[in-house]
Each structure stands twice: as structure tokens, then as C-alpha cells.
Amino acid sequence: MHKHNFYAGPSILSQYTIKNTAEAVIDFAGTGLSILEVSHRSKEFVAVMEEARALVKELLEVPDGYSVLFLGGGASLQFCMVPFNLLARKAAYMETGTWAVNAIKEARLFGEVDVVASSKDANFNYIPKGFTVPQDADYFHYTSNNTIYGTEIRHDLDAGKVRLVCDMSSDIFSRPVDVSKYDVIYAGAQKNLAPAGATIVIVREDALGHVERPIPTMLDYRTHIKKDSMFNTPPVLPIFSALQTLRWYKEQGGVKELEKRDIAKADLLYEAIDSSRMFEGTVKDHADRSIMNVCFVMKPEYKELEKEFVDFAAARGIVGIKGHRSVGGFRASLYNALPIESVRALVEAMNEFQSSH
Ligand code: PMP
């Protein structure tokens, strides 16, 4: 049966990415070797790394003075690498979900952390507004898309003269970004890019070298900049897959086009939720709603039907819609590779289920 993949991550990838990766597992670039067994120093793989880096720069219009890195360790390692490299005395953080909480916990190991805004009081179901970033902070960190709670900041924030750092793990490549406003952007690959195992880091080179502390070699961004992400063995397979996705993005018309499609998909689903007598969205303010992760629940009078709906949807090939345990209900992740037909299938299932109850 054809599956509609709504998982939050690892998550749906384009068929182009999957097919080309499958082929390279058998024969990589005509080498007669599998991508699983090829040297990362082979000229064929070095070419993959170079093209992937160039395509990230092209798609996100990364200005001069920035390096694009492909590292291991997941986005979670960036929670520690960012303060290791940038926090001299004090950092400001926005607390909008579990991943922000984890990032804050790591930063506290390195210095003072000023949590300038939080939506913890309402289980992170909104984006805090009207806060100020202390201008003596070394940087301001925020999470652009809160994967678990379905909130998103869909514009570049302004922190005045303070350096800006953003975790874009679950919405990178879903809109154009003004990279020049940021000092570090990072994203785990396993949502909009590749299988798990690689993390993209876009770092402004002159933001580095301003902290006194010794930095372990592997955790120092400068190590990886100097060695073009080849200081140690990089995650070869995820980087190969990332390149396929990046090529596909370019062919589709780039991030502006992806954004248009993502908005259309999200609008379709939110409309179905808002006009339903059975379902309701967990994020009330439309401006805060994520176009990547749509969180919704059954209204109190239908609450006991939630499990039944998950099974009802699964029988139609709709998988991965169970909400994270800290929110409950449902979460439909609408990453770039998800076709609008899958959203239509989900909306149809919701309507059918509703008419039969
Ligand atoms: N940040 C965000 C926004 C995430 O959604 C996730 C994972 N889902 C992480 C960080 C952690 O990423 P990783 O598992 O790659 O460490």
C-alpha cells in the first residue's frame, strides 16, 4: 500500500533522494564500489562534499565570509558547540520548546544564560512577543521551528547588535533566509535534507576566536572550517543523500518555490482542522503556527476517539500522525518532500471519520 509519511524526523525524503541513494549503495559514481565502502578522501566523494556545500550556499544565498559545514553529532551537539565557541560571559536564549530547553541547559555549562522569553507557561503553544535582548549578550539563540509543539517563527529575528544563532533543524529550506543576519545557523539533516547522521552548520568566520577557553579540537568550528568538514571521517552516506535533496530542491525552483508549496499544504490542513467539529489546533494564534509540524487534538467531547483515529488513518496508509507524548493528539509533519496529495488524503480521512461518528 502507498504510505503517506507524516513522521516528524527521521522523515519523508524525496523519491529522487531515495532512488539515487539506493543506486549509489550498489555502485557509487561508476566507481564499482558502494557509497557504504568508499573512502571519504576519494575524488568522487570529495566532489560530493564540494557540490553539497556549494548548493547550500546557492539555495540559501550564503554571503562571503561564511563557511558551510557538514558535521556529525546531531543538532544536539550544536547545543554545546555554540556556547563552547561563542559564549565568553553571557548569552540570551528564547525558550520555546524542549529543544530550546536542552540548548539552554548546555549553555549554562559555559556562562550566564539570560532566558529573555519563554512560552513554558502554556506548554509552549505560542511564540513569546515583545521581549528585549540585552545588548551586552555574546549572542541570542532561538529555535525557528518547534518540532514538538508546532510553533514557528517564519521570519528572521533582529537582536540589534547581538550575534544571532538559530536552530533551524526542522524548517531549514522551507523559506528564504537572510543569512547575513546570523552568526551561526545549524540544522540536523533528518527532516528536510537527508537520513540522520549529518548536521549542517553555517557559521560566520569572524564570529570565532573571541573566547579565551581552550576548545577541544573536534568541538572547535575552526578545525572543521580549515579542513572543509574532512578533519575526521564525515557521515558519508547522509552527505551523499543531502546532495541529492539539494539538487532536487534546485530543480524544483529553490526555497521560494518550496515555501509556496509548504504554505499551500499547511493552509489545507489548518483549514480542515479549524472548520471541523471534532478536531482543534493546539496553537491558537495563526501567526505562530508552523507550516512544517501541524499539531492538533480531538475536542474534549471526542477525546477518547484519538486512538481510533490513528488506526483509521493507518488503514489508509497514513503513518506518523501520533502527537509527541508531551502534547498528545496528533502531529502531521509536512516537510518539503511531502506531496500535497498526502495532505489531501489526511484531510479526507478526517472528514470521513468525522461523518461516521
Ligand atoms: N532541534 C530541533 C528543532 C529538533 O527538532 C531536534 C530533533 N528533532 C533537535 C534539535 C535535536 O536533533 P538531533 O536529534 O539531531 O540531536
- Residue 248 annotated among the catalytic residues of the structure: no
Confidence class for position 130, pLDDT limits 50, 70, 90: very high
Mean pLDDT of 297-305: 97
pLDDT recorded at residue 101: 98
pLDDT recorded at residue 115: 98
Complete domains list, the chain, with CATH: 15-252 (3.40.640.10), 254-355 (3.90.1150.10)
The span from the CA of 313 to the CA of 306, in Å, is 11
Q: Where does residue 98 rank: exposed (0-12), middle (13-18), buried (19+ CB within 10 A)? A: middle
Confidence class for position 348, pLDDT limits 50, 70, 90: very high
86-107 tens-digit pLDDT: 999 999 999 999 999 999 999 9
Ligand 1 surroundings by CB, under 6 angstroms: 9, 74-76, 99, 143, 147, 167, 169-170, 188
- Residue 191 annotated among the catalytic residues of the structure: yes
Partner residues linked to 297 by β-bridges = 280
pLDDT recorded at residue 308: 97
Mean pLDDT of 109-123: 98
Answer yes or no: are the C-beta atoms of 296 and 290 closer than 8 Å: no
Task: Out of 146, 147, 171, 324, give the residue to mutate to test ligand 1, the one with the largest number of ligand atoms within 8 Å of its CB.
Answer: 147
Alpha helix (H) ranges present in 43-97?
A: 43-59, 74-86
pLDDT recorded at residue 61: 98
Q: Which three cell numbers stand for residue 334?
A: 509536512
The beta strands (E) that lie in the chain are given as 4-5, 66-71, 90-95, 112-118, 139-143, 145-146, 151-152, 163-167, 184-188, 199-204, 279-281, 293-298, 318-319, 330-333
Mean pLDDT of 288-312: 97
Supply the mean pLDDT for the chain: 98
Which atom of ligand 1 lies at the shortest distance from residue 77's CA?
16
Confidence class for position 286, pLDDT limits 50, 70, 90: very high
Q: Express as a percent the part of the chain with pLDDT over 90.
A: 100
Confidence class for position 1, pLDDT limits 50, 70, 90: confident
181-191 tens-digit pLDDT: 999 999 999 99
Question: Of these residues, 183, 191, 262, 322, which one is catalytic?
Answer: 191
| Residue owning the nearest CA to atom 5 of ligand 1 | 147
222-242 tens-digit pLDDT: 999 999 999 999 999 999 999
Q: Give residue for cell 556529525.
A: 72
ipTM over 0.90: yes
Mean pLDDT of 4-10: 98
Nearby residues of 218 by Cβ (< 8 Å), 6 or more positions away: 231, 232
Helix axes 15-26, 236-252, angle to 10 degrees: 140
pLDDT at 178 over 90: yes
Which atom of ligand 1 lies at the shortest distance from residue 145's CA?
3
C-alpha 324 chain-centroid distance = 16
Q: Which three cell numbers stand for residue 93?
A: 536564549
pLDDT at 53 over 90: yes
